[in-house]
Amino acid sequence: MRELLVVLNTRAQSFLKHAFEFRWQSLVQNLSSLLIFGGFTIAVFFISRSVTDYAMSQAHIGLFLFHRFLSMLLYVFFVTVNVGNMIVSFGTLYRSQEVGFLMSLPISHAKIFLIKFVDNFFYSSSTLTLIGLAVLLGYGSYFDMPWYFYFVVIFLVMLPFMLISGILAVTALMLLIRIGARIGFRLLLMLLVGAYGASVYAYFRITNPMALVEDVMKLWPNVNDYLGYLDPQFVKFLPNHWVAEFLYWSINGDPARAVPYLALLVLTMLGLIAVAGLMARKFYYESWLAVSNLQAAKNNSASKPPGLFRLDGKNLFSPKLDALMRRDFWLFFREPSQWLHLVLMFVLLLMFVVSVATMNIRFDSPGMETNAFLIVFLFNGFLVASICLRFIFPLVSLEGDAFWVIRSAPIVMNRLYWYKVLGSMGVVLALAETLTISSVFLFSQSVYLTTIAAIMMFFVVLTLVGTNVAAGGYFAVFKEKNPMRIASSQGASLTFLGSMVYLTFVSTLLVIPFNRYFQQSEFAGMATPHWMHWSFILIGLISMAIFFLSSFIGVKALRRSG
């Protein structure tokens, strides 16, 4: 226990020293992050409150259905925390140099596992926690819940809920690495991606939200009654259901029926921690060795990579451009945490497009049509923002300790910056436009809307790529080698929140023109939406202004860094 406390104490001291170190730059960064985080939290709080208000007071969906939707959202949240923890934990528990150092000390493997798990959990879940808490506050305030409700929900419901997800992820990873050492990591990865996809699909297939809405609405006006018999049996074993049930009974003022769910969550969390500790004692070192051996075998193999992009292959472009492109290509595809995450993101994108394509929803009003269209567009924007955060933001930081090579070579920093911006923009734009065109067209069947969405997406990509490269340079962390940790740093969270503010702004500008477009389509035959273009021009102008301003900051940051 003593060594565990020593390690945790050292980490806490290091964190506090870093947090309270006075520098003007860090003061400005902290203040601006406080402002943006604060603003974002307040915005999420009000959105959560308004959505609850809308569902309960205007749509009258009833408490039962509302909490079943909440349960579904919590399931997505659970899977997101789980995936995040699994990906980040591969870096923190198996690849970090600190683990190698700790392994050389007389500390038990289970304790190293625990230390790194805590590290991993806070790194990969902090932004999600913030969003979760803001949603909870908005929800609670609508129902006028007392102060201790929030305390109980935060520490005894949400924390155990997220920890269950996190522990399951790292424990599963420990076992998967052992299996991967036998069956091969590529096959394992495919199985894992398939398993995540299948679990999300199966969950929504079995819970069947559409059928649930119809079943509940048949019982109108008794929609506030507890209709637990409508729940499929299997959901009763899921932690998201326990959280939803706890909230439902708390809102109904029935603690006797709420507390068992709280107990279930806490006991499951404690049980899983104990199981994870026991398994770590037996398997963590073994799995760590398996990863180290695999890495060493890979590094010691003197085979040359095949293909066009070989660094020692003939030039396709100018030598400088060629060298940079090929280096980036290989650094990306030789880092499992990079391509692994990319594959997962592709699967998510595919699932989204397929879901949109197979949706069969009838809209009763132009307002609903506008909301649905904006949600699809916004979700596309959100995916692009996530891709930018995860892959574009770390670009400058990933120059790392070896940045001296470029800085001492005859390379103009402006050109290096534009290479990063334009190179990433090409890739993200292709992806974003494919996503937008396929999802919007499949959803709306309108060539006009698809064209507009594609043009708007161009500006979204321009802004998000520009700001992410620039902010990545401004908040560069050259010492950090793990791209996921760079993408979850304070600067990255700040950039992501900025992206969300921008997307909200774009959507707000699109609400009125699209609402009028749908109204005209509905009531006056074909629309003639020439007046809509002013909103689009405004979005374009503001996006370009943000892009050029961020480029100016980014170039300056790149020149002074390294």
Partner 1 sequence: MAMIEIQHITKKFGSFTAVNNLSLSIESGQLFGFLGPNGAGKTTTIKMLTGLYEPTSGHCFINGHDVHWTPLEAKRSFGYVPDQPFLYDKLSGREFLHFVGGLFGMPYESVKAKVDEVKDYFEIGSFMDKRAEEYSQGMKQRIVLSAALMHNPPVLIIDEPIVGLDPRSARLVKDVLKQKTKEGLTVFMSTHLLEVVEELCDRIAIIKNGRIIYEDVPAQRNGDLEEMFLELTK
The residues that touch partner 1, with contacts defined as CB under 8 A, are 295-296, 298-304, 311-315, 318-320, 322-324, 326-327, 330-331, 334-335, 400-402, 404-412, 481, 562
Q: Measured from the CB atom, is 201 or 404 closer to partner 1?
A: 404
Nearest-approach distance from CB 334 to partner 1, in angstroms = 4
**C-alpha dihedral over 82, 86, 87, 90, to 10 degrees?**
160
Nearest-approach distance from CB 303 to partner 1, in angstroms = 8
Q: Measured from the CB atom, is 60 or 560 closer to partner 1?
A: 560
Q: Measured from the CB atom, is 361 or 409 closer to partner 1?
A: 409
Nearest in space to 503 (alpha carbons), one of 548, 449, 542: 542
Nearest-approach distance from CB 395 to partner 1, in angstroms = 14
Q: Measured from the CB atom, is 199 or 315 closer to partner 1?
A: 315
Tell me the two tokens of residue 349.
Answer: 């994108």
Residues listed for the chain: 562
**C-alpha dihedral over 149, 152, 158, 164, to 10 degrees?**
-150
Q: Measured from the CB atom, is 419 or 514 closer to partner 1?
A: 419
Interhelix angle 109-142/255-279, nearest 10 degrees: 160
Whether 111 and 64 have beta carbons less than 8 Å apart is answered as no
Nearest-approach distance from CB 484 to partner 1, in angstroms = 16
Nearest-approach distance from CB 331 to partner 1, in angstroms = 5
Q: Measured from the CB atom, is 281 or 407 closer to partner 1?
A: 407
Whether 452 and 481 have beta carbons less than 8 Å apart is answered as no
Nearest-approach distance from CB 310 to partner 1, in angstroms = 8
Q: Would you list the DSSP string of 496-519?
A: HHHHHHHHHHHHHHHHHHHHHHHH
**C-alpha dihedral over 468, 472, 474, 480, to 10 degrees?**
170
Q: Measured from the CB atom, is 181 or 411 closer to partner 1?
A: 411
Nearest-approach distance from CB 101 to partner 1, in angstroms = 16
Interhelix angle 185-207/159-183, nearest 10 degrees: 140
What sign does the dihedral 521-524-525-529 (CA atoms) show? negative
Q: Measured from the CB atom, is 328 or 433 closer to partner 1?
A: 328
Nearest-approach distance from CB 254 to partner 1, in angstroms = 57
What sign does the dihedral 353-356-357-358 (CA atoms) show? positive
Kindly state the greatest CA–CA separation across the chain: 78
Query: For residues 498 and 388, what is the distance between their CA atoms, to the nearest angstrom?
Result: 12
What sign does the dihedral 551-552-555-556 (CA atoms) show? negative
Q: Measured from the CB atom, is 186 or 205 closer to partner 1?
A: 186
Nearest-approach distance from CB 319 to partner 1, in angstroms = 4
The b/e string for 209-239 (b: 16+ C-beta within 10 A; e otherwise) is: eeebeeebeeeeeebbeebeeebeeebeebb
Q: Measured from the CB atom, is 151 or 404 closer to partner 1?
A: 404
The single-letter DSSP state of residue 487 is T
Query: For residues 469 and 553, what is the distance between their CA atoms, to the nearest angstrom?
Result: 10
Nearest-approach distance from CB 20 to partner 1, in angstroms = 19
Q: Give the position of tokens 């930018």.
A: 388
Q: Measured from the CB atom, is 195 or 296 closer to partner 1?
A: 296
Task: Give start and end residues of each alpha helix (H) in 334-412.
Answer: 336-358, 366-387, 403-407
Nearest-approach distance from CB 418 to partner 1, in angstroms = 16
The b/e string for 32-45 (b: 16+ C-beta within 10 A; e otherwise) is: ebeebbeebbebbb
Task: Give start and end residues of each alpha helix (H) in 413-489.
Answer: 413-444, 447-474, 483-486
The residues, ordered by sequence, that sit 6+ positions from 382 with a Cβ below 8 Å of its Cβ are 500, 503
Nearest-approach distance from CB 295 to partner 1, in angstroms = 7
Nearest-approach distance from CB 560 to partner 1, in angstroms = 9
Nearest-approach distance from CB 92 to partner 1, in angstroms = 17
- Cα 385 from chain centre: 9
Q: Measured from the CB atom, is 187 or 405 closer to partner 1?
A: 405
Q: How many CB atoms lie within 10 A of CB 15?
A: 10
Q: Measured from the CB atom, is 182 or 314 closer to partner 1?
A: 314
Whether 243 and 76 have beta carbons less than 8 Å apart is answered as no
Query: For residues 523 and 370, what is the distance between their CA atoms, to the nearest angstrom?
Result: 15
Q: Measured from the CB atom, is 303 or 360 closer to partner 1?
A: 303
